[in-house]
Chains A and B, each alone.
Chain A
Amino acid sequence: MIKRLRLENFKGVVEGEAELDKLTILVGPNNSGKTTILEALFLAPNPLRQIPYFPSTAVQLLLEYHKTLSETGYTFLLNKYIAKNMMIKVDDRELLFTKDSVSGIAIFTSYLPPGYSSTHRFGERELLELGYLRPDSRVEGLSDLRIADNTLLLSTKLAKFAHEYLQTKWIEILNTRAPALISRDVSRFVSEEYVNVTAEPFMAGSTTFYVMLADGTRIRLSDLGAGVHLYVVNRLLYEHYRPDVVLWDDLETHLNPRLLTHVVEWFADLVEEGKQVIVSTHSLEVVETLTAFVEDAAVLLTSLRDGKLKVRKLGTKELEEWAKAGIDPRYAEALPL
C-alpha cells in the first residue's frame, strides 16, 4: 500500500505531500491538485511501464490525455514548464526527473531493486537511471522495473484510450470469464439483460465492442449509456491488468446513484482483498457513499495556493460534525485553518 506521496515541481504543485489510506477520497475545489495527485501516483511505479491503454506507456498516455493540439514532449510535467527538476516520491522511493535541453528529461530513481546497481552518483546519493522522455515524445528505458505498487488510472476521459488496448488483448480477456461476469453484473442496473461482451465486425470490416443480450442481439458498447459504458470498460481494464492500486478521477461522472453505489461496493471488495483505492470527486453523495461502505476511509481536502499543495485529512466523525454545522467540505477552502 502506498502510504505517503510527496511532490516537488510536478505540474502545478511546487511542493506538497499527502498521506494515503486503503480508501482515500480526494475532495477540493477545481485546480486544487486532486487530478495531479492521481497522475503522480499513476506515474510513480514507473512512467515507462506498459499500461492497459493505447498509448501503451503511462507517461505517453498522460501526454495524449493533456494534448490539445500537436504539441510534443513532456515539459507539461514540469512546474510552469520551466522547472529543471521534479520529484515524485512514494513512501521512501523517489522518482527524479531532470531536464536537459538536448536529450529531454532523464528519469532516475533512488530505489535500487535486487539485481540493479546505481548508475549515477550525486554527492552521497546513488541513483539508478530509469530512462528518458525525449523531446519528440519517444520514451526509452527500463520499462519492466516497478519502484512502487502498480497503479491504474481510470477516468471518463481515458476510456477512449482503452478500446484499442482491449482489442489487441481481446483473446486473453475473452478466455477469462470477466466479460460475461461484468455484463451480467451491469445488467442489474439497466432494463436489458446482458450476457456477454464481444468484439466483432461492425461495418465494412471494422471491428467494435458489443454487449450481447440474452436473445443474441448485439448493442455497440459505445451506444450504451455513458455510465454503463464507462463501468464496463473500467472493469475490463481492471480484471485484465489487476493493479495494486485503483485511481479513479471524478468518480461521479456519468454514474447514476445506483450504479455509483455498485461501484463503491466493488471498491469495498477491493479494499477487503488488500487493494488500495484512491478517488477524486466533487460530489458529497460519493463521499457519503464511500464512507458508508468503508468506515475508515480517509477524506482528504486539497487546496493549492501559490503552488503549495495542502492536504487535510477528515474522519467520518468530523464530516458528521461539519454536516450538522452547515459546513460543506467542498467549501472548506473558506475555513481559516
Chain B
Amino acid sequence: MRIFPLNRRMSARIQSRLRWVDKQLPRKVLADKAPTLGSLIILGDGREDDVVCHHLDGNKTVGIVKSELPRYGALENLKVYVNEGYKDIVFVLDQEDDTLPNLGRRIREKLGEIGVGCEEERCNARRVVRFNCLAGGVKFRFVVVVNGLDDVGGPSHKIEDHLVKLAGVARPMDSKYICNGLEQDKKWEVFRPICDDREAAEMVFSQHFGGLGLLDC
C-alpha cells in the first residue's frame, strides 16, 4: 500500500519526515499519482508521521487525510468523504485513557449523531472494529483502528506505544514521554524496520495490519 495525502501540508510534512530517515523512503511510501481505489485513511490523532506505521507494499494506493477536528470530531466530516465516493474508510485514533468498550460506544454514538446507520461486524483483531454503514443511501465499510498496546505505556495508550516497543525502550510509563526523550536519530531509526522488516512491523502494529488489510487493497 502507498498513500496519497489529500492536502499539501500533510504531503509536505510526511515527505520531509520520511526523507529524514532515508531519502528513498518517500518514494516507497507516497504515491506520485492519484489512487484509483476508493479507499481512505482518516487520522484522528497525532502527527502525520503516524502513517509510516502502516504496512507498505508499494503496490496499491489509498488516500489519507487528517480532519480539522481531532478524535471523534473527525467523524463530523465522514459524510463528506462518503459523498466523494470513498467506499472503504479506515479511521485511526489513539486509545488515550478510554477503555476499548467505551471508545467503541462513543464511535457508535457519533455515527448515530451524524446520521450514519451502522452494523458492527465480527472482527477478531484486538483494537479493530469493523462496521457496514449506510449514509444517504450509500453503503460503505468503516473500520476503526485504535492505536495502543496493552503491555506498553501507562494508563493512556497511543501510537507512541508501538514506537517505543519497536525501539526496545518500552517501560511502564507514558510512551509519549519516553518517545520525546529519545535522541532524534534513534526516534527515526524506529521507522526503518517498519519499512524494511515486515514481520517485526506486523508484530508491533498488529491492529494496523489487521485494520488496513480490511481495506480493498
Contacts and interface: CB of A to CB of B under 8 A. Distances in A.
A141 B84 CA distance: 48
A334 interface: yes
Q: How large is the interface on A (under 10, 10 to 19, 20 to 34, 35 or more residues)?
A: 10 to 19
Given A335-B84, A336-B86, A323 B11 contact: no
A112 interface: no
Interface string A253-267: 000000000000000
Contact of B38 (A326, A332, A336): A336
Interface stretch (B1-9, B124-132, B186-194, B206-214): B1-9
Nearest to B73: A324
Interface in A292-337: 321-328, 330-337
A324 to B, nearest CB: 5
Nearest to B43: A326
Contact of A327 (B7, B69, B87): B7
Interface in B26-82: 34-35, 37-38, 63, 65-69, 76-77, 80-81
A334 B86 contact: no
Nearest to A331: B6
B112 interface: no
B66 A326 contact: yes
Interface string B180-204: 0000000000000000000000000
A322 B84 CA distance: 10
A328 B69 CA distance: 15
B68 A323 contact: yes
Nearest to A305: B34
Nearest to B62: A334
Nearest to B66: A326
Contact of B67 (A284, A325, A330): A325
A323 B66 CA distance: 10
A317 to B, nearest CB: 11
Interface string B1-28: 0001111101100000000000000000
A327 B65 contact: yes
B69 to A, nearest CB: 7
A82 B2 CA distance: 37
B159 to A, nearest CB: 18
B155 interface: no
A239 to B, nearest CB: 36
A334 B68 CA distance: 19
Contacts of B115: none
A64 B63 CA distance: 41
A328 B6 CA distance: 6
A324 B7 CA distance: 12
Contacts of A326: 6-7, 10, 65-68, 77
B11 A337 contact: no
A140 to B, nearest CB: 44
Contacts of B6: 326-328, 331-332, 334-335
Nearest to A318: B80
A331 B63 CA distance: 10
Contact of B34 (A325, A327, A334): A334
A334 B62 CA distance: 9
Nearest to A336: B85
Contact of B77 (A321, A333, A334): A321
A324 B76 CA distance: 9
A328 B67 CA distance: 11
A234 B97 CA distance: 60
A337 B38 CA distance: 9
Contacts of B11: 331
Given A333-B34, A336-B84, A337-B84, A324 B8 contact: no
Residue picked from A284, A328, A330, A332, most chain B C-beta under 10 Å: A328
B80 A325 contact: yes
B5 to A, nearest CB: 7
Contacts of A328: 6-8
19 contacts: A322-B80, A323-B68, A324-B67, A324-B76, A325-B68, A325-B81, A326-B10, A326-B66, A326-B68, A326-B77, A327-B6, A328-B8, A331-B5, A331-B8, A331-B11, A334-B6, A335-B63, A337-B84, A337-B85
Given A326-B6, A326-B10, A327-B65, 13 more contacts: A322-B80, A324-B69, A325-B67, A326-B7, A327-B7, A327-B84, A328-B8, A331-B7, A331-B11, A334-B4, A334-B63, A335-B6, A336-B87
Question: 8 closest Cβ contacts across the A-B interface?
Answer: A336-B85, A328-B7, A325-B77, A337-B85, A336-B38, A334-B34, A333-B34, A325-B80
Interface of B: 4-8, 10-11, 34-35, 37-38, 63, 65-69, 76-77, 80-81, 84-87
Interface of A: 284, 321-328, 330-337
